[in-house]
Amino acid sequence: MQVLYEADSVRHDPTEVLERVVGEASLGSSAKMYAQGLVAGVLDNREQIDDVIAEFAPSWPINQMATVDRNILRTAIYEIMLCDETPPKVAINEAVELAKAFGSDSSARFVNGVLGSVMQTFQK
């Protein structure tokens, strides 16, 4: 989420941001590969993911949504819809925890509501 946030908010190259963040975090090879796959998956499917966000949060235009919330949703929706590595309930729980830690006072409730609706519709 940190890589996607930085790339989205200040338009830094996601590949460079990922390399820096992975280096700073001293991630092992499997965690690094997972992070690379997650970032690439979200970026490669961003248009489809943003369409899902727009469908389930119609009162919040994607470009007016808080950058943190937008990228938390992008990550979790990718995990729920397009990635088989993370169970949907785990993706939602992690997203809500990120929203609590990095979002506004209402972010966790907003993220949980959107993702709950997404999971009901796209449940595997």
Question: Whose CA is closest to 91, among 26, 41, 28, 24?
Answer: 41
The span from the CA of 75 to the CA of 94, in Å, is 10
Kindly report, residue by residue over 39-94, the tens digit of the pLDDT: 999 999 999 999 999 999 999 999 999 999 999 999 999 999 999 889 999 999 99
Give the separation between CA 22 and CA 18, rounded to whole angstroms: 6
- CA 22 – CA 28 distance, rounded (Å): 9
What pLDDT does residue 27 have?
83
Per-domain boundaries in the chain: 2-122
4-8, 28-32, 96-100: range with lowest mean pLDDT:
28-32
On the 0-12 / 13-18 / 19+ scale of CB atoms within 10 A, 99 is buried
**Percent of the chain, pLDDT > 70?**
98
Return the CATH architecture of domain 2-122: Orthogonal Bundle (1.10)
